[in-house]
C-alpha cells in the first residue's frame, strides 16, 4: 500500500516547481488575487486613471464600455498592448458590462452628468467604483450617491487623488499636530475663472447633423441630461461650461479643493452653514462660507500670494499660530514658524497612483477608501450650495440636519435637477 | 507669526486664453428668459409661436421659481419627445398638490420613455396616491415600466408600498424582480428612518432569502448587522 508520504516524495514533489519556471515573475500575483476592473466612458482623464490601473500588479482591466466607437477601440488597443493579448472586451451598453460576474470594480470617467446615475447602477450590480470628479450634478444626487453605497455596502473612491498626495498630507499633519494652532480658515482654489466661470451658460449650440448611431449614440451620450440638439463641440469636451452638463468653476474646481479642505480638517461629515457670494461672472470671484463652529471656508478663483507658487488645485489652512499652503507643484508655502517642520515630500504627481492603489487595497480588505461616497457627498453638497448661492446672488444659510436652505425657497428648488427619461437615481 | 489672507478678491494674474468655444446662435440664447416672472414664463409655454428652446428654458426657470400657476402648461408638455424632461424639471419642485395630480393624470395618457419619466417624477415626489396605478404597472408586460414603477414605490415607501413590493418579489422575475428587490431595500431604510424598526427589520429579513438577487441579499444582511450594532438601537 502506498502511503501519502510516498506519494508526496515520488509524484507530487517533483511537480512543485518555482513559479519562474512556469513563466511567472517572482512575486507575481495569482489571477485569483487580482481585482478585476471594467471601465465606462474613458476619455483623456480616464486614460490617465486607466494607465495607473494597468500599472498595479494586483489589478486587471478587462472591459470597456463607451458610446463612441472610436473611444472603445482606443481603450481596447491601450489595454491589449499593455497585457500583450486581445482580452479587453468592448461594450456599448453599460448593463452588459455590469452583468459580468468576473468584474469587481468599475472606473467611471464619463462626463459629469453620468457620474452619479452610473455609480448607483454599478453599486446595484454589486460593483465597487472609482469615479472621476465632480461626482454629482446636484445636492440631491450627492445624497443619493452616499445613500446607495451605504445601502449596498459597496466601496466608492471619488477621483480626489490629492488625498493621497504626500505634500497635501503633510499640510493636514501640521494641522492635526497642533503646529498651526486652532483652525481659523480653509481656502480652496476654484479658478481660474477664465476657463470655467462660476455661472455656466444655459444656451444651446447650433444643431449639427447627427452622426450614425454606431459612431456616436447621442441619446446615450446625453443620458440623464436634458435633451438638446447635437453639436460636435460637446462631444469633444466642450460640454463643460454648459449648465445642463456642468456646475461651473465652483463645482469643477471645488470638487478638487473643497474636498481637500474637508479632508484636512476632518470635516468629511459636515457642510458649511452659510454661503456668501462675492464677485462677478468674469472673475475674480469667491464664496465665503462658514461652518457652525465658526471656521471659515473661502472658495476663490485666485488671490493669495502662494497660489502662483504652489500650483493648480491649491489649498490653504490657517490656524491661529500659523498657515500652510500647497498644490500640484508639490512645493509647500507656510508661515515662518512652520518652516522648520517641513520635510521633503514625494511629487504630487504620484498622488493618483497612490489613490488607485488605496482603492485596490480597500477592495481586498473591505475598508472604506479615503474619498468615500459619504465624504464626496459632503464636499460636493458644499460646492453645490456655494454654486446656488452664486446663482442667487445672495447669502444663503443652510441647515445641515434637514439638508435645506433656511432663507430662500428658490434655492431649495435648485437642490435637484430632473433626469431625462428613462434615467433615475 | 500668522499672515492673514485678504478677504476680498485680488486681481487675477494674466493667463493665456484658450481657443474660444463656438458661440450659441441668437435663437438658442436664454437672454431675457432668465429674469422673467412666472406669468411671463407661463406665457411662453402657452404661446404657439414659442420655440422648443424657449419652452425648454421657461420650464427650467419655472421649476426654480416653483410656480404652481404653470402646472397645466407644464403638464401639456409631458408627452413631448424633447420637452418632457423640461416639463418635469418644472413640475418636480412645485410644492403643490396640483403637480402631483398632473403627473398622476399623465400615467393613463403617456407611453414609452415619457411614461417612465413621469413615474420617476412621481417617485421623487413620493406621491402615495399614485400607488395603485404603480402596482398595476409592476405586473405589466413592459419591463422598463415595471422597473420604474418598482423604484417609485420604493421611494414612496410606507406600509402599503412595502406590502405590494414584498408580494411582487414572489410574483416577478428577471430584471423586474431585481428592481423590486432594490425597492424593498429602500422601503426598509424608510421604515428605519421613520422609527418603524420592526417593519424595517422584517423587510430586511425577507430580503435575505436565498433566491433574492445576491447584491440585494448581501445589502439586506449588512442592513440588519448595521441596525443590530448601532448604538441607538432599542435593547
d(CA A359, CA A266): 20
A281 part of contact set with chain B, CB < 8 Å: no
A418·B17 Cβ contact <8 A: no
Which chain A residues are within 8 Å of B126, Cβ to Cβ? none
B142 part of contact set with chain A, CB < 8 Å: no
pLDDT in tens, A323-377: 999 999 999 999 999 999 999 999 988 999 999 999 999 999 999 999 999 999 9
The CB-based long-range contact list for B203-210 (8 Å cut-off, 24+ gap) reads: B203/B162, B203/B166, B206/B166, B206/B169, B207/B169, B207/B181
Q: What is the pLDDT of residue A246?
A: 97
d(CA A377, CA A224): 19
A203·B120 Cβ contact <8 A: no
Residue with the bigger pLDDT between A105 and A4: it is A105
Give the neighbor-by-neighbor strand order of the sheet with A105-108. A89-91, A59-65, A35-40, A105-108, A128-131, A156-158
Mutation for testing the B interface, residue in A144, A418, A419 having most B CBs under 10 Å = A418
In 3D, which of A286, A298, A276 has the Cα closest to residue A192? A286
Which chain A residues are within 8 Å of B189, Cβ to Cβ? 147, 151
Contact B136, B104 (CB under 8 A): no
Q: How confident is the model at residue A33 (pLDDT cuts 50, 70, 90)?
A: confident
Could you give the domains of chain A? 162-198+246-413 (3.30.360.10)
Q: What is the pLDDT of residue B12?
A: 44
Across the interface, of A303, A318, A321, the residue whose CB is closest to B6 is A303
Each of the 235 residues of chain B gets a pLDDT tens digit; together they read: 334 444 444 444 444 555 678 999 999 999 999 999 999 999 999 999 999 999 999 999 999 999 999 999 999 999 999 999 999 999 999 999 999 999 999 999 999 999 999 999 999 999 999 999 999 999 999 999 999 999 999 999 999 999 999 999 999 999 999 999 999 999 999 999 999 999 999 999 999 999 999 999 999 999 999 999 986 665 5
d(CA A304, CA A296): 15
Whether the predicted pLDDT of A196 surpasses 50: yes
Which chain A residues are within 8 Å of B222, Cβ to Cβ? 153
Q: What is the pLDDT of residue A12?
A: 36
Binding-face residues of B in 162-191 toward A, CB within 8 A: 178, 182, 185-186, 189
β-pairing, A274-279 vs A128-131, is unpaired
* Least confident piece of the model among A7-21, A52-66, B21-35: A7-21
A322 part of contact set with chain B, CB < 8 Å: yes
- pTM of the full structure: 0.92
Amino acid at each position: 500500500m502506498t502511503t501519502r508520504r510516498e506519494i508526496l516524495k515520488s509524484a507530487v514533489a517533483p511537480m512543485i516547481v518555482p513559479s519562474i519556471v512556469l513563466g511567472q515573475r517572482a512575486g507575481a500575483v495569482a489571477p485569483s488575487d487580482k481585482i478585476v476592473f471594467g471601465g465606462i466612458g474613458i476619455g483623456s482623464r480616464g486614460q490617465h486613471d486607466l494607465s495607473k490601473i494597468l500599472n498595479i500588479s494586483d489589478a486587471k482591466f478587462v472591459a470597456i464600455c463607451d458610446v463612441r466607437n472610436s473611444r472603445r477601440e482606443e481603450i481596447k488597443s491601450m489595454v491589449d498592448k499593455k497585457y500583450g493579448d486581445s482580452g479587453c472586451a468592448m461594450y456599448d451598453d453599460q448593463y452588459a458590462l455590469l452583468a459580468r460576474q468576473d468584474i469587481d470594480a468599475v472606473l467611471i470617467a464619463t462626463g459629469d452628468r453620468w457620474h452619479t446615475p452610473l455609480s448607483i447602477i454599478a453599486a446595484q450590480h454589486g460593483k465597487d467604483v472609482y469615479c472621476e470628479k465632480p461626482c454629482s450634478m446636484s445636492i440631491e444626487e450627492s445624497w443619493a450617491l452616499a445613500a446607495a453605497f451605504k445601502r449596498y455596502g459597496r466601496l466608492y473612491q471619488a477621483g480626489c487623488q490629492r488625498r493621497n498626495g504626500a505634500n497635501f498630507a503633510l499640510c493636514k499633519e501640521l494641522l492635526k499636530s497642533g503646529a498651526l494652532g486652532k483652525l481659523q480658515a480653509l481656502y480652496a482654489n476654484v479658478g481660474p475663472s477664465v476657463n470655467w466661470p462660476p455661472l455656466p451658460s444655459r444656451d444651446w449650440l447650433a444643431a449639427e447633423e447627427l452622426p450614425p448611431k454606431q459612431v456616436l449614440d447621442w441619446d446615450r451620450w446625453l443620458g440623464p441630461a436634458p435633451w438638446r440638439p447635437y453639436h460636435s463641440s460637446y462631444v469633444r469636451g466642450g460640454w463643460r461650461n454648459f449648465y445642463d452638463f456642468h456646475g461651473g468653476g465652483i463645482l469643477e474646481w471645488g470638487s478638487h479643493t473643497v474636498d481637500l479642505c474637508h479632508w484636512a480638517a476632518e470635516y468629511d461629515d459636515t457642510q458649511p452653514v452659510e454661503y456668501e457670494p462675492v464677485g462677478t461672472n468674469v472673475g475674480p470671484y469667491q464664496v465665503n462660507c462658514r461652518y457652525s463652529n465658526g471656521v471659515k471656508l473661502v472658495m476663490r478663483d485666485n488671490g493669495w500670494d502662494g497660489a502662483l507658487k504652489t500650483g493648480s488645485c491649491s489649498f490653504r489652512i490657517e490656524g491661529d499660530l500659523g498657515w500652510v499652503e500647497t498644490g500640484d507643484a508639490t512645493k509647500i508655502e507656510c508661515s515662518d514658524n512652520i518652516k522648520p517642520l517641513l520635510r521633503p515630500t514625494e511629487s504630487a504627481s504620484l498622488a493618483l497612483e497612490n489613490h488607485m492603489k488605496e482603492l485596490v487595497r480597500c477592495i481586498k480588505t473591505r475598508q472604506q477608501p479615503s474619498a468615500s461616497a459619504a465624504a464626496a457627498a459632503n464636499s460636493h453638497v458644499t460646492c453645490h450650495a456655494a454654486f446656488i448661492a452664486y446663482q442667487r446672488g445672495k447669502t444663503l444659510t443652510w441647515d445641515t440636519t434637514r439638508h435645506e436652505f433656511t432663507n430662500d425657497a428658490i434655492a431649495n428648488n435648485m437642490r435637484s435637477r430632473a433626469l431625462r427619461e428613462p434615467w433615475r437615481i | 507669526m500668522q499672515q492673514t489672507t485678504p478677504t476680498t478678491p485680488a486681481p487675477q494674474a494674466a493667463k493665456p486664453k484658450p481657443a474660444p468655444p463656438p458661440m450659441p446662435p441668437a435663437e438658442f440664447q436664454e437672454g431675457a428668459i432668465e429674469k422673467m416672472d412666472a406669468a411671463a414664463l407661463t406665457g411662453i409655454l402657452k404661446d404657439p409661436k414659442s420655440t422648443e428652446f424657449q419652452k425648454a428654458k421657461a420650464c427650467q426657470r419655472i421649476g426654480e421659481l416653483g410656480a404652481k400657476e404653470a402646472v397645466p402648461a407644464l403638464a401639456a408638455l409631458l408627452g413631448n419627445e424633447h420637452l418632457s424632461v423640461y416639463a418635469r424639471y418644472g413640475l418636480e419642485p412645485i410644492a403643490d398638490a396640483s403637480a402631483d395630480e398632473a403627473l398622476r393624470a399623465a400615467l393613463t395618457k403617456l407611453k414609452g420613455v415619457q411614461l417612465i419619466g413621469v413615474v420617476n417624477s412621481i417617485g421623487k415626489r413620493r406621491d402615495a396616491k399614485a400607488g395603485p396605478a404603480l402596482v398595476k404597472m409592476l405586473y405589466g408586460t413592459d419591463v422598463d415600466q415595471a422597473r420604474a414603477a418598482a423604484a417609485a414605490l420604493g421611494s414612496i415607501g410606507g406600509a402599503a408600498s412595502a406590502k405590494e413590493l414584498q408580494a411582487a418579489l414572489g410574483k416577478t422575475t428577471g430584471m423586474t424582480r431585481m428592481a423590486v428587490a432594490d425597492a424593498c431595500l429602500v422601503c426598509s431604510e424608510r421604515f428605519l428612518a421613520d422609527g418603524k424598526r420592526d417593519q424595517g427589520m422584517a423587510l430586511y429579513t425577507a430580503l435575505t432569502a436565498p433566491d433574492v438577487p445576491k447584491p440585494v441579499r448581501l445589502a439586506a444582511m449588512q442592513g440588519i448587522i448595521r441596525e443590530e450594532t448601532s448604538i441607538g438601537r432599542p435593547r
